[in-house]
Chains A and B, each alone.
Chain A
Amino acid sequence: MTEPILAEGLVRKFGDLVAVDGIDLCVAQGEIFGFLGPNGAGKSTTVRMLTTLLSPSAGTARVAGFDVVSQAAQVRRVIGVALQDAAIDPIMTGRELLKLQAVLHGIPRRISRERGDELLARVGLAAAADRRVGTYSGGMRRRLDLALALIHEPRVLFLDEPTTGLDPTSRMALWEEVRRLNGEFGTTVLLTTQYLEEADQLAGRIAIIDGGRIVRKGEPEALKDAVGSPTLRIDVDPEYLARATEVLEHFGEMRPARSGRLAIGLDGGASRLAEVVRALDAAGVVLNHMELDAPSLDDVFAEATGRRLEGAEETQAPVEVSG
């Protein structure tokens, strides 16, 4: 059986801007594959090419065995797509939108009505089905968007930042639904996200994308293990920064950290924590806060790109201390 998603050297340019710069992707049947990266990394652009909404500038891609350029119509028959901005018409009702979607997919009315009711119940929108979508909350819109993506039982489901802007409860509910689709029906899922926890929780494999390129690829646990040492983070007042940096450099490699913080990969792990505290104390450094975390996907991203993914705007590079 051909892989559900296969891309080789995928490139997309907008004038001089190279949004996607040579992406290779292979997603296996029944997999949930996560595409993790910050805003502007090229995630949505890649998804748009794979779903035939944008033509590639170079490279090839096949979805469910069909070429996204020359067999675009066949691709669209077997994929379901929930885009970053829930693409819904606010003056139509949920049921009307499902009807529209079903007809566009050529599904006969007798089947589509039953299927629509089933999907509405599944995503918890049965009671709101005949209300205008303009009255729905953000979470309800996303759930409707998912239902619309599923009406035709797609083999491959593309979810572009499906939980951005949702409250934690709605997010969890959506995760549950994705797991169920994958578990019960074997639907292959490609999911883009900027939330580490989402990628960690849902995806069997992930690709980390930055500046239009994949910088790391693999299973989340394996990627985290490859980072090696846990991250030690300390908060100190500005007058102690230089001294603290000098001390910490003896215990491991500096890692990118938020402004006002220092972070290192602590060689030897938690067993050396007491040593670090004694060394900082001996140097006269006053600690405000200290924490030790197992490697996270943020560490994986930081190691690959030199920046943090979460709280990216507060990131600073490790402080250079001369002398």
Chain B
Amino acid sequence: MTVTAHPRPSAVAQAVAIAGRSVRGVLRQPPQWVPSLVFPLFFNAVSAAAFDRTRALPGFPEVNSFLTFLLPATILQGVLLGATAAGNDAAVDIENGFFDRLVLSPMSRVSLLGGRLVGSMALGVVQVVFFLSVLSVFGARLENPLAGVLVLVVVGALLAGAVGAFSVSIALRTGSVEAVNGFFPIFFAALFMSSAFFPPSLSGGWFETVASINPITWIVDGLRDVIIEGWVPGAAARAIAVSAALGVLAIFMATRSLAARIRT
């Protein structure tokens, strides 16, 4: 009897398989992705209608509508809500034993992690396109649509990957869905303590200080400059660089967490 050894699949193919599973898994569970699309739109529709008159305050950026001002916040909220699903899925896989099966397979560690992150990033891109489409109907405007869309999509994807990697690292460390969900308020808090929802220069005091050292402020400000003024290379670079840096940090954490879990 002869034994046929199948050729080991490439890391890319493995990653694509995992990414596909991630995306399919999320799509099959509307409660996972519907809130990440609906909630940011609702919350920002209410905020825009409530705070529109504050555009008249001295020092408020020149925007045609508060929705335009909130565009970065909308995207970040959506990415935050959607990308934690990667961590949730990883925790569920660990809890029900499927993760062990993946580890025992010939799958490379890079593909194992990379696939999930690619899945998150793909969903992040979909979210950005969705939000831009809907909000532009209601008056949000990009000064340079091409540049604006490009930068928003790139940053959205990078942040989705970063948040996804971070939530996966929590899942790998704790193996618990509850622990992953427990971190969500922290992300949310970080988003609020930034320039996402209102100009910190108008808030003043301790808030302005905290917001100024929050990396999310640097990302939001970079995005907003591109949205309002058009192609501003420095602003775009800042937003992309900070998002990428957060992504690198999160991937590093996730890799360490994966190694720790496989060892134990």
**Touching chains A and B, CB distance < 8 Å:** no
Name A's B-contacting residues (CB within 8 A).
Answer: none
